Amino acid sequence: MGDASMVGLMGRVTGTVGPGLVGEVIVRVRGGAEHFLAYAADSGTRIEPGAVVMVVEHLPPRTVYVTPAYDG
């Protein structure tokens, strides 16, 4: 799976993402849901468990950079 195929997918934070932390997100991909190690795209942002995020970069095999997803 290449970098571009993950970009734009939505996920949910399962382990806090933030400065100095390696977080975790679950993303629906390939017909299921998979866990990825996660970093904030903006290094100063803290994203708490339960928040919905969007993947902005994928570093194969299991690392993503995410940004909070906002509802309008």
Q: For every one of its 72 residues, what pLDDT tens digit does the chain have, with 9 covering 90 and above?
A: 445 689 999 999 999 999 999 999 999 998 899 999 999 999 899 999 999 999 999 999 999 999 999 765
Which structural domain range is residue 48 located in? 3-68
Contacts of 65 (CB under 8 A, 6+ apart): 38, 39, 40, 41, 55, 56, 57, 58, 59
CATH of the domain at 52: 2.40.50.140
Residues 55 and 45: their CA atoms lie apart, in Å, by 14
Confidence at residue 28, expressed as pLDDT on a 0 to 100 scale: 94
Are the C-beta atoms of 12 and 52 separated by less than 8 Å?
yes
pTM for this model (two decimals): 0.89
Q: How many structural domains compose the chain?
A: 1
* Whole-number pLDDT of residue 43: 87
